[in-house]
Amino acid sequence: MVQKFNEHIVKSLPFLKEKKLLVACSGGLDSVVLTHLCAASKFDFAIAHCNFSLRGAESEGDETFVADLASQLGVECFVKQFNTEQEAKTKRLSVQMAARELRYQWFDELLTSKGYDYVLTAHHADDSLETFLINLSRGTGIQGLSGIPKMNGNIVRPLLSFSREEILEFATLEGKEWREDSSNASIKYLRNKIRHQIVPIVKELNPTFLQNFQHTQHFLRQTSDLAHNYLEELKSKLFRQRDGAVAIPIAELQQLNPLDAYIYGLLHSYGFTEWNDVKDLLTAESGKQVFSKTHRLLKNRDFLILAEIIPEIKGTYNLHLDKTSDGLPIKIQLEEVESFEKQTQNVVFLDMEKLIFPLVLRNWEKGDYFYPFGMQGKKKLSKFFKDEKMDLISKEKQWLLCSGDKIVWIVGKRADERFKVEESTRKIVKISWLK
């Protein structure tokens, strides 16, 4: 196996010879064999061992075993102990996910602080096949079947084209020792069933099953990359940024065929799952919505509006003259000024003596009306919103600046006629929305 390993390195990962490497070693069969192979190939490497403190004395034994292995091989050994269960609780993760996060985070720190180039892990072809079958049993997409690549950033997996049998045979023939993980049998029921009952028969189907499987996963990753790039290109064409939300033109969406595939591809990363409802939105009345846990999708005339669900910030807030707008949901500044400039969308000038302080910032309510600046008479806000072609999400996000129960400014949109600066005005207040 040493020879095959060397040939594989020369052919596929030749740069490793020149680099400073960290070998992730748990003390188990796979990573111990990887460590010995790196030593046999005279790589410039150190060992990194995570003690997740999950199996008491057994964990301590693993740590000692790996430290001994390192000194036996004459290489440096970094060890870190983690309180994995605590971390899992704090971050509300499964113990396995927490261990994974801690592990890769620590590796990153080591790479940076100690000047190593790559972390080597001992994933092999059987690991990939088992994961493939686990995901298949649960239902998955191309990602779940594509497996992990030989290289991903600074993580390298030089055993990915080797089988578990080869690794075991090497360790046995060469008399290498390793630590058995007692949790293997208990925790990982599904993986073990696959490993012991399914994989052996599946491999009998074809003498080169594992090699063929690697090619399959390689092709799937390629297709997955293409589809990903395509969807990103499509998003940059179809998704138009608008007021912190995304507007998607329905007519263009409907030209895509097969529509289902595009809708899923473009929107699944926003957490939607009710695809029939999403599809129905295309032809629904304006105002219809579909929600995911993180996003909402609103039909608004010729567009679908995709917006993140932001925790409610509704409420009423007081605004004082010359005070900073700390604690307000948006930045509004009030200041008395001498002269009057041209109003813009975000800056209005009003007659200060007509206002009752503190002013109040609030969202709109049913029945709201105001006297649009430059017009005669009053107008319902609902009518104003409609004329402005505002969608539901924009309406919900709209702030109103009020004096008592009167609307002074539809923030960023229109001031009220009643508070405008006139010839008789003695004090002018400048109100700015600082985006």
CB of 218 to a copy of itself, least distance (A): 9
Near a copy of itself by CB under 8 A: residue from 231, 332, 400, 415? 231
- Distance CA(135)–CA(140), nearest Å, equals 6
Q: Does 293 bind a copy of itself (CB under 8 A)?
A: no
Q: Does 206 bind a copy of itself (CB under 8 A)?
A: yes
Binding part of the chain for a copy of itself, among 110-118, 206-214, 278-286, 351-359 by CB under 8 A, reads 206-214
Q: Which is nearer to a copy of itself, 211 or 286 (CB)?
A: 211
Binding part of the chain for a copy of itself, among 207-215, 277-285, 295-303, 394-402 by CB under 8 A, reads 207-215
User: Between the CA atoms of 53, 57, 61 and 67, what dihedral angle is there, to the nearest 10 degrees?
Assistant: 50
Q: Tell me which amino acid residue 407 is.
A: I
Q: Which is nearer to a copy of itself, 137 or 183 (CB)?
A: 137
Contact between residue 61 and residue 93 where contact means Cβ atoms under 8 Å apart: no
> Could you tell me where the beta strands, DSSP code E, fall in 320-378?
332-337, 347-351, 359-363, 369-370
Residue 233 CB partners (closer than 8 Å, separation 6+): none
Binding part of the chain for a copy of itself, among 37-45, 221-229, 282-290, 403-411 by CB under 8 A, reads 221-229
Q: Which is nearer to a copy of itself, 202 or 330 (CB)?
A: 202
Q: Does 212 bind a copy of itself (CB under 8 A)?
A: yes
Q: Does 252 bind a copy of itself (CB under 8 A)?
A: no
Token digits for 6? 């060397």
Q: Does 272 bind a copy of itself (CB under 8 A)?
A: no
Do β-strands 155-156 and 151-152 pair in parallel, antiparallel, or remain unpaired?
antiparallel
CB of 296 to a copy of itself, least distance (A): 23
Long-range CB contact pairs, 228-236, < 8 A, 24+:
230/265, 231/265, 231/266, 234/262, 234/265, 234/266, 235/266
Q: Does 136 bind a copy of itself (CB under 8 A)?
A: yes
Question: What mask of x and - would describe binding to a copy of itself in positions 92 to 131, judged by CB under 8 A?
Answer: ----------------------------------------
Q: Does 193 bind a copy of itself (CB under 8 A)?
A: yes
Binding part of the chain for a copy of itself, among 63-71, 117-125, 210-218, 359-367 by CB under 8 A, reads 210-218
Q: Which is nearer to a copy of itself, 28 or 149 (CB)?
A: 149
Binding part of the chain for a copy of itself, among 26-34, 174-182, 222-230, 336-344 by CB under 8 A, reads 222-230
Q: Does 10 bind a copy of itself (CB under 8 A)?
A: no
Q: Which is nearer to a copy of itself, 105 or 211 (CB)?
A: 211
Contact between residue 379 and residue 370 where contact means Cβ atoms under 8 Å apart: yes
Near a copy of itself by CB under 8 A: residue from 56, 92, 115, 204? 204
Burial 314-348 (b: 16+ CB within 10 A, else e): eeebebeeeeebeebeeebbbeeeeeeeebeeebb
Contact between residue 272 and residue 265 where contact means Cβ atoms under 8 Å apart: no
Near a copy of itself by CB under 8 A: residue from 94, 229, 283, 318? 229
Helix (H, G, I), strand (E, B) or coil at 434: coil
Near a copy of itself by CB under 8 A: residue from 93, 220, 253, 282? 220
DSSP label at 121? Answer: -
Q: Which is nearer to a copy of itself, 142 or 309 (CB)?
A: 142
Calculate helix-pair angle for 209-238, 125-138, nearest 10 degrees: 60
Q: Does 236 bind a copy of itself (CB under 8 A)?
A: no
Q: For residue 281, how many other CB atoms are within 10 A of its CB?
A: 18
Closest to 26 measured CA to CA, from 143, 121, 108:
121
Quote the Cα angle for 241-244-250, to 5°. Answer: 45
Near a copy of itself by CB under 8 A: residue from 264, 291, 364, 369? 264
Q: Which residues bind a copy of itself (CB under 8 A)?
A: 133-134, 136-142, 144-145, 190, 193-194, 197-198, 201-202, 204-206, 208-209, 211-213, 215-216, 219-227, 229-231, 257-258, 260-262, 264-265
